Every structure is written in C-alpha cells, then in structure tokens.
C-alpha cells in the first residue's frame, strides 16, 4: 500500500498538462468579482462584476445598490455573449440544462424579484417575491433543488417599526400561486454558502440581525441543511470565512479545518497559509482547490497533498468547478476568463489517515495529559479507536486524559479501524519524557509518583529487600530498592 501511495504522489507532483484550454474571453476587469457560476456540464458560464449593496442596514431596496456588470455566455459555441447591467442581490445559479441563468435582484423598480435570464435571447423574466404581503429584501442566496425542481433561497422581510424578520423559502418559478415554505437557514444574512447536489446538502454561513429598541443585535452561525427534507441538521455558533461541502457528505471545510459531522468535531487543520487561499470543494471527488500566485492546486481531502496543478500566466482571482467534475472556470489578474477541460484528470482515492496531539510539554514533572485526535481523515462515519499510552494503559475515547504513575520515557500510539475493516496506526516513539525528581543531598534516591492517593506510611521488608508503601485509600504497594513502584499487594475495596 505504501508503494501505491508514493507512486500517486510522484505522478501528481508533475501533473500540470492534463488540462485542455477550451474557451477564453477577456472580461471588463478581474477586480471585484462578486460571483462566478458555471453550469453542471460546464457549457454555460455567468460572471457578475462589481455592484455594491448595503444588505446590513439598507432594507435591501434598489436605491441601496449600484449596478453590476453581468456576462453570460456559452463555452462550446461562438454564440454572442449577453452583457447587461444588473442590481443583483444573490449569486447566479444556472439551470440543469444550461439554458437559463437565475438570480435574485432588482430589474423593475424597487421590488426584489426572482429573475430568469435565457442564455440565448434578449428577454428577462421576473417574478416578484412576496411573503405575508411584504416584499422580500436584504441579501439573498439562491440555488436550484434538482430533486424537487424548485428553487431554494433565503431572504429577509422588513415590517413597520424597524422590525426585521428572516425567512427561507422554496418556490417553483413557473407556479405563480405557489406558497412559500419556510425551511430554516437560521441566518438572516447569508454571507457565503455551498450546495452539493449529489449528497443533497447545503451549507450556509452568516449572521442573524435583530432590531429591537433601535439596537441591532447580531449573532453568527454556520448551518448544514438537507435539501431533501429542508430541515436543519447541524449548526455551529460562528460565521466561517471559508466554506465547502466535500464529496463525502460526512465532511465539510469550515474555516481552516476539516469538519466531521458524525463526530461533530474538527479532525484536521488545513494549512491555507502555506498552501494558498481556499477556493472550493469538489462535490464529486475527494479533493479541494487552493490558489496561490498563478497556480490552481488540486489537493487531497485526506492529507493536503497537491496531486494536480493548473499553471496560469497571471495570479488566480476566482475559480468555479462544474458539478460533473469535467471543467473548471478560472479568472486571472489579466482579466482573462478561461475554461479548462479536466475530464482526463485522475482523481485520487482518499486514504484512512490518523494523527494526534496532546498538551504535553517538556520538561514534564507529572500530572494529567490531554490527548486529541487531530489532522486525521476517517473514511467511514463509524469507527473504533484504541489509544496505547505505553505504560500498559489504553483508552477507547476520542479525547482521553491520562496520568502516568511513574517517571520514564513512553511511546504513544493511536489505532483506528473503520467500519469497512481499514486499519491505520500512528506511533510516536518516546513521545512522553517523564523526568525523575532531583535527589536531595545525602539521599540515595528520590522519586515522584502519581498515585490515586497519597503515601501515608512506609515500612521495610528486609527479607524480600523491598519497601512497602501504604496510601490514604488503604492500598499497599511494593517499591524496589531504587524507588520504583512494582505492584499492588493489597487494594482496598468496598463491599
């Protein structure tokens, strides 16, 4: 197995030629790219450049936004791209067949509408979004739900008296009498979001803003919601700067860590400082993208190795993968929008990988040590684990705390077995150095021992050349002439 992994790394380190440039176009500017979208098959693209809006305090009205430049184009034909001005209030999303771009914004007056923009043609269709008689306003997030053929979006409704109420809705664009159904994004202002149509999960991060007595109260959250049941399944009490749902629905990149939903914990730190800026996760394969300088790097979810690189002429400003995993759109600092075919890319298989840390610090004079399973990747939702602390004690908990009874040097290992039988062991040789006590002048030896109870009495057994030590809980130990505890002679129990 080790030989196979090494072979993959060597291949991936030099793989910079498997992509094919299939389409490119000069855009107005590479600055202030608000949104980049590509269809599921990679054959339609949409870019929104510029345009500002104050979603926090502006009630979401048209007057609080400036025009953005919108480019919509096919990438497989020479058809003329669509260019127009637009006051956008959401990310664009492209229909499953790639013929229509949808977004939420202002096209007719101050009313926020769900807009359908055909890729070929000059028309734009709109539907005003109303809930309980009020126009929906504020910053929005939009996605298509393929399994129910509807749109999922978040929005805010403002009522008289300055009160702000948040809703999330599902609506069928063609059914103008359809009622909105509340689904619970749990964030009024969606700052960033990601949707995996394959696992039917969407992840949103943002903040809730409540106006009460002219005081604006904010709270933040990051929430995972099933697009099948439209129910919130998990929330973290923080807004995340990076967000991406992995191909394995048990995982997401939240902030600078790999989050494992079954255990509800971060299990691995991602080094974006060294590897570059996080861009997005593949929803089909076990990797994610980072951009550093003029390179787009494809990195493994399980261990951060870059197995594939796209080298551009200028610095990378934005990327977007197609859902079928065959194409990627890249915007570079020279205002060039390029679409690459990456269908020949050989995607790696994730490997079970485990690491751990602790709060152990040298010099160590005794006490409790907390161990933590981190920088790991687990291939299944359920697994078993065994910690071996090197002194005969073990633990099967995720984050054990252990106390070493005697000074010495200890090797610590962690073994994890997945539900499909994979096994991985991490061994840290001579990991713990428990130092002996300083011997006072005139003493033969001095040892510090961490016991369940204090030593209250000492006696000498001359024939056995041993020392007997009694403790405050009624237990009796034997000690060797050089001060090492050997074993229990008697342990007090209660009946």
DSSP 63: G
**pLDDT > 70? residue 58:** no
Which has more confidence, 373 or 281? Answer: 281
pLDDT value, residue 169:
47
What's the mean pLDDT in 2-31?
A: 57
For the whole model, what pTM was predicted?
Answer: 0.74
pLDDT of residue 314 exceeding 80: yes
In degrees and rounded to multiples of 5, residue 444 shows phi and psi of -75, -40
Residue 206, domain member (yes or no): yes
- pLDDT for 33 equals 87
338-360: b or e for each residue (b if 16 or more CB lie within 10 Å)? Answer: bbbbbeebebbebbbbbbbebeb
| Rounded percentage of the chain residues whose pLDDT exceeds 70 | 66
The band of 267, judged by pLDDT with boundaries at 50, 70 and 90, is confident
Does the residue 41 lie in any domain? Answer: no
CATH number at residue 379: 2.60.40.10
Residue 485's domain spans which residues? 455-490
pLDDT band at 43 (very low <50, low <70, confident <90, very high): very high
The owner of tokens 């190795």 is 305
Question: In this predicted model, what pLDDT tens digit does every residue of 182-241 receive, in sequence order?
Answer: 444 444 556 777 888 888 787 877 765 554 444 444 567 787 777 666 666 778 888 888
Flag whether 281 is in a domain.
no
Taking the mean position of all CA atoms in its chain, how far away is CA 80? Answer: 38
Beta bridge partners of 265: 260
Structure tokens at 6: 């090494």
Q: Is the pLDDT score of 264 beyond 80?
A: yes
Q: Are residues 208 and 255 in the same domain?
A: yes
Domain boundary among 238, 268, 298: 268
User: In this predicted structure, which of 121-135, 165-179, 336-350 has the lowest mean pLDDT?
Assistant: 165-179
Does 239 reside within a domain? yes
Residue 446 has pLDDT above 90, yes or no: no
Q: What is the pLDDT of residue 373?
A: 87
DSSP code per residue over 256-290: TEEEETTTTEEEEE--HHHH-EEEEE-SSSSEEEE
Q: Is 141 part of a structural domain of the chain?
A: no
363, part of any domain: yes
Task: Name the domain count of the chain.
Answer: 3
Closest to 9 in 3D by CA, of 338, 351, 275: 351
Does residue 326 belong to any structural domain of this protein?
no
pLDDT grade, residue 2 (50/70/90)?
very low
Mean pLDDT of 254-281: 89
Q: Does any domain span residue 251?
A: yes
**pLDDT reading at 173 higher than 50:** no
Single residue among 268, 298, 314 that ends a domain in this structure = 268
**Domain end residue (candidates: 268, 287, 320):** 268
């Amino acid at each position: 197995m080790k030989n196979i992994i090494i072979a993959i790394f060597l291949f991936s380190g030099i793989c910079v030629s498997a992509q094919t440039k299939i389409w490119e176009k000069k855009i107005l500017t590479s600055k202030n790219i608000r949104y980049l979208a590509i269809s599921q098959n990679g054959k339609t693209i949409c870019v929104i450049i510029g345009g500002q809006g104050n979603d926090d305090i502006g009630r979401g009205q048209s007057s609080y936004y400036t025009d953005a430049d919108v480019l919509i184009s096919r990438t497989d034909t020479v058809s003329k791209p669509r260019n127009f001005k637009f006051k956008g209030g959401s990310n664009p999303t492209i229909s499953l067949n790639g013929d229509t771009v949808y977004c939420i914004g202002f096209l007719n007056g101050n009313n926020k509408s769900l807009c359908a923009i055909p890729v070929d043609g000059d028309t734009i269709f709109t539907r005003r979004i109303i809930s309980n008689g009020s126009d929906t306003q504020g910053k929005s997030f939009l996605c298509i739900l393929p399994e129910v053929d509807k749109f999922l979006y978040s929005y805010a409704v403002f009522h008289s008296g300055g009160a702000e109420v948040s809703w999330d809705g599902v609506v069928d664009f063609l059914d103008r009498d359809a009622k909105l159904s509340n689904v619970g994004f749990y964030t009024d202002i969606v700052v960033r979001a990601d949707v995996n149509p394959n696992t039917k999960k969407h992840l949103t991060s943002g903040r809730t803003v409540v106006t009460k007595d002219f005081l604006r109260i904010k709270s933040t959250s990051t929430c995972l919601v099933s697009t099948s049941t439209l129910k919130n399944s998990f929330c973290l009490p923080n807004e995340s700067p990076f967000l991406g749902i992995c191909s394995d629905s048990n995982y997401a990149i939240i902030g600078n860590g790999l989050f494992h939903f079954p255990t509800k914990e971060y299990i691995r730190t991602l080094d974006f400082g060294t590897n570059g800026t996080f861009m997005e996760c593949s929803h089909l394969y076990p990797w994610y993208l980072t951009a550093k300088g003029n390179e787009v790097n494809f990195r493994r979810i399980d261990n951060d190795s870059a197995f594939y690189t796209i080298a551009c002429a200028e610095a990378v400003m934005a990327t977007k993968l197609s859902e079928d995993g065959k194409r990627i759109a890249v915007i570079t600092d020279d205002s060039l929008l390029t679409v690459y075919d990456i269908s020949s890319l050989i995607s790696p298989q994730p490997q079970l990988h485990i690491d751990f840390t602790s709060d152990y610090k040298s010099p160590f004079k005794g006490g409790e040590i907390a161990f933590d399973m981190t920088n790991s990747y687990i291939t299944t939702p359920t697994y078993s684990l065994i910690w071996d602390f090197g002194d005969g004690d073990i633990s099967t908990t995720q984050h054990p705390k252990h106390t070493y009874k005697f000074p010495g040097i200890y090797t610590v290992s962690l073994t994890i077995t997945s539900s499909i039988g994979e096994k991985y062991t991490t061994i840290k040789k001579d990991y713990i150095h428990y130092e002996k006590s300083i011997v006072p002048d005139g003493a033969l030896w001095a040892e510090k021992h961490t016991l369940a109870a204090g030593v209250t009495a000492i006696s000498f057994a001359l024939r056995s050349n041993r020392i007997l030590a009694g403790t405050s809980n009624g237990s009796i130990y034997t000690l060797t002439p050089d001060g090492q505890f050997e074993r229990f002679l008697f342990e007090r129990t209660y009946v």
